[in-house]
Structures are given as structure tokens and as C-alpha cells.
């Protein structure tokens, strides 16, 4: 997740998250939720199923999507502003 968004146009809050996360074109922020009572931001990422991926085992680039390892993986991200921030995203797998 780096590199292809150096001068992103920021036209919406979603664009801002997209740029801050330095998402490649294959990946995008699908939606975000903010709970003002808990101060928590949840960002839901998704990816283009026709996108190309890198094999995490050997590093081969340009591989098509095969299936999902997990439908949704969640982890804590660095805070956006002072808000607890969590990312949720499917984990794709390639056949390599
Ligand atoms: Zn491989």
C-alpha cells in the first residue's frame, strides 16, 4: 500500500483517508463510521477483484485475485487526529 497516490485530489473525507492510507488503485475506502461517543473511527476497505496483487510468499507481482483468506480482518491503525482508528478489510489470496 504505497506510492500511487502522491498528489491525491482531496474532494471528500473518504479521499482524505484514501490518501492518508496511501492506498494503491486496487484498494479503496468503501465507507467509514465515526462514533462521537467513543471517539472511534472505523474504516472499511475493499479492493477491485480484477486488480493485481503481489504474492506474500515469494514477492511475485501482477498476480490475479484467487480467493479470500479472511472476509474481514480488523486491526488498530494509528489514530486519525485523537480518535481511535480501526481498519477492516478482506484479505485476498493469489495462486502462485
Ligand atoms: Zn509466490
- Which residues are within 5 Å of ligand 1 (an ion), measured at CB? 55, 57-58, 60, 96
pLDDT of residue 60: 96
Pairing of strands 40-47, 83-94: parallel
Q: How confident is the chain (96 residues) per 10-residue block, as mean pLDDT?
A: 52 83 87 92 94 93 94 91 92 94
User: If you measure from the C-alpha of residue 69 to the centroid of ligand 1, how many angstroms do you get, rounded to a whole number?
Assistant: 15
pLDDT of residue 5: 47
- Joined together, the cell numbers standing for residue 77 give 491503525
pLDDT of residue 95: 93
- At 13, is the secondary structure helix, strand, or coil? helix
Segments making up each domain of the chain, as ranges: 32-94
Amino acid at each position: 500500500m504505497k506510492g500511487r497516490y502522491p498528489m491525491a485530489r482531496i474532494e471528500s473525507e473518504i479521499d482524505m483517508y484514501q490518501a492518508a492510507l496511501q492506498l494503491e488503485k486496487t484498494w479503496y475506502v468503501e465507507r467509514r463510521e465515526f462514533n462521537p461517543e467513543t471517539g472511534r473511527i472505523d474504516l472499511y476497505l475493499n479492493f477491485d477483484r480484477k486488480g493485481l496483487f503481489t504474492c506474500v510468499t515469494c514477492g511475485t507481482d501482477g498476480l490475479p485475485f484467487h480467493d479470500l483468506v479472511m472476509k474481514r480482518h480488523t486491526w488498530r491503525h494509528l489514530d486519525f487526529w485523537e480518535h481511535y482508528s480501526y481498519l477492516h478489510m478482506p484479505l485476498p489470496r493469489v495462486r502462485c
